[in-house]
């Protein structure tokens, strides 16, 4: 049997924030290296700020031309789950099923919280 064709590169989130202020770079790295700073970043494809700003927006900036370039290479490039979810939310990929599940859970928690608040007021 031949060796399975595995992705040599991965598009992943690189943590660049501090304890109470997370900030991520969307970066291309070799897959077999750890996510920590041990692996050199081949290219930074974007940034993601998960903390809501004053308009309650989470900011995401992606260089779609470079992303398409790397996804179109002959070498297979793996996109990690968190990056798949982000790209699904911006419309580059189909919406990831996990995004639907998380939205459903948050909606259910919010409804339970609203119901508890109404019972306290009564």
Q: Helix, strand, coil % (nearest 5) of the chain?
A: 35, 25, 40
What strand order describes the sheet that includes 24-30? 59-62, 41-49, 24-30, 9-15, 77-79
Which pLDDT value is given to residue 7? 65
Q: How confident is the model at residue 36 (pLDDT cuts 50, 70, 90)?
A: low
pLDDT reported for residue 44: 93
In a domain, 61, yes or no: yes
- In the DSSP assignment, the letter for residue 51 is S
Return the SS3 of 28. strand
Determine, yes or no, domain membership for 43: yes
Residue 4 domain flag: no
User: Mean pLDDT across the stretch 13-18?
Assistant: 88
Q: What pLDDT is attached to residue 9?
A: 87
Query: Which is higher by pLDDT, 121 or 63?
Result: 63
- CATH code: domain of residue 29: 3.30.1320.10
Quick check: 61 pLDDT over 50?
A: yes
The confidence band for 2, taking pLDDT boundaries of 50, 70 and 90, is very low
Q: At what angle do helices 97-121 and 81-89 cross, to 10 degrees?
A: 70
Exposure string over 91-110, b if 16+ CB within 10 A, otherwise e: eeeeebeeeeeeeeeeeeee
Residue 87 lies in a domain: yes
The arithmetic mean of pLDDT across residues 52-75, rounded, is: 88
């Amino acid at each position: 049997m031949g060796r399975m064709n595995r992705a040599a590169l991965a598009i992943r989130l690189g943590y660049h924030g501090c304890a109470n202020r997370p900030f991520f770079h969307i970066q291309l790295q070799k897959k077999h290296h750890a996510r920590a700073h041990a692996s050199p970043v081949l290219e930074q494809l974007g940034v993601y700020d998960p903390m809501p700003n004053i308009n309650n927006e989470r900011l995401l900036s992606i260089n779609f031309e470079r992303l398409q370039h790397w996804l179109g290479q002959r070498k297979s490039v793996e996109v990690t789950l968190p990056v798949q979810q982000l790209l699904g939310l911006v419309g580059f990929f189909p919406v990831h099923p996990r995004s639907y599940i998380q939205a459903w859970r948050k909606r259910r928690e919010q409804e339970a919280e609203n119901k508890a608040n109404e019972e306290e007021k009564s």
